[in-house]
Amino acid sequence: MSGANHPEQERQPYAPTPRPGGRSARVRADVVTATLAEVAEKGYDGLTVEAVATRSGVHKATLYRRWGGVDGLVADALTASADQPWPLPDTGDLRQDLRRITQEVFSVFTDPDLGPTPTALISAAQRSDAGAAALHAFFTARHRQAAEVAERAVARGELPAGTDGAEVVRAATAPLYYRLFVTGEPLDARTAERAADAAALAARAGLFTSALAAEEAHAKPNTTTPQGN
Amino acid sequence: MSGANHPEQERQPYAPTPRPGGRSARVRADVVTATLAEVAEKGYDGLTVEAVATRSGVHKATLYRRWGGVDGLVADALTASADQPWPLPDTGDLRQDLRRITQEVFSVFTDPDLGPTPTALISAAQRSDAGAAALHAFFTARHRQAAEVAERAVARGELPAGTDGAEVVRAATAPLYYRLFVTGEPLDARTAERAADAAALAARAGLFTSALAAEEAHAKPNTTTPQGN
DNA sequence: CTCGTAATGCGACTTGAGTCGCATTACGAT
DNA sequence: ATCGTAATGCGACTCAAGTCGCATTACGAG
* Each residue's pLDDT tens digit, B8-59: 333 333 334 444 556 666 778 888 888 988 888 887 878 899 999 999 888 9
A62: Cβ under 7 Å from strand D?
A: yes
pLDDT at B125: 85
d(CA A118, CA B56): 38
Q: Are residues A33 and A139 in the same domain?
A: no
By the CB < 8 Å criterion, does B198 face chain A? yes
Same domain, B125 and B51: no
Residue A20's Cβ-side half-sphere holds a number of Cα atoms within 13 Å equal to 4
Output the domain CATH number for residue A72: 1.10.10.60
HSE, CB side, 13 Å, CA atoms: give it for residue B138. Answer: 26
Which whole number is the average pLDDT over B98-114? Answer: 95
Q: Please give the C-alpha separations between residue B82 and each of B41, B85, B102, in angstroms, as whole numbers.
A: 20, 7, 18
Q: Are residues B139 and B199 in the same domain?
A: yes
The reply to whether B69 and B41 lie within a common domain is yes
Which pLDDT belongs to residue B210? 78
Together in a domain, A132 and A200: yes
Any B CB within 8 A of A177 CB? yes
Closest chain B residue to the Cα of A43, Cα to Cα: B127
Please check whether residues A214 and A160 belong to one and the same domain: yes
pLDDT at A80: 86
What is the domain count for chain A? 2
| B74 in the same domain as B106 | no
Domain that holds residue A101: 94-219
What pLDDT sits at residue B175? 98
A201 touching B, CB under 8 A?
A: yes
Average pLDDT over residues A25-45: 83
A71 in the same domain as A122 = no
Q: Which of B143, B178, B197 sits opposite A170 (nearest CB)?
A: B178
Residue B43 φ/ψ region, left for φ over 0, alpha for ψ in the -120 to 50 degree band, beta for the rest: left
Q: What is the pLDDT of residue B7?
A: 32
pLDDT digits (tens, 9 = 90+) for B185-195: 999 999 999 99
pLDDT on residue A131: 87
Q: Which residues contact B139 (CB under 8 A, 6 or more apart)?
A: A182, A183, A184, A185
The per-residue pLDDT for range A174-224, each reduced to its tens digit, is 999 999 999 999 999 999 999 999 999 999 999 999 765 544 444 444 444
Q: Spell out the alpha helix ranges (H) of chain A.
A: 23-42, 49-56, 60-67, 70-82, 94-110, 116-125, 129-146, 148-156, 165-178, 189-204, 211-219
Spanning CA of A122 to C1' of D8, the rounded length in angstroms is 30
User: Long-range pairs for B35-42 at CB < 8 Å and ≥24 separation?
Assistant: B35/B73, B35/B74, B35/B76, B35/B77, B36/B77, B36/B81, B36/B117, B36/B121, B39/B74, B39/B77, B39/B116, B39/B117, B39/B120, B39/B121, B39/B124, B40/B116, B40/B117, B40/B120
Q: Which residues touch strand C (CB under 7 A)?
A: A 19-23, 48-50, 60-61, 64, 69-70; B 11, 17-19, 23-24, 27-28, 57-62, 65-66
User: Could you tell me if B109 and B61 lie in one domain?
Assistant: no
Which nucleotide does the CA of A64 lie closest to, via C1'? C18
**Residue A183: its pLDDT value, please?**
95
- Does residue B106 share a domain with residue B27? no
**In the predicted model, what is the mean pLDDT of chain B?**
82
Write out pLDDT tens, residues B130-182: 888 999 999 999 999 999 999 999 999 999 999 999 999 999 999 999 999 99
Collapsing DSSP to helix, strand or coil, B86 comes out as coil
Q: Do B111 and B180 belong to one domain? A: yes
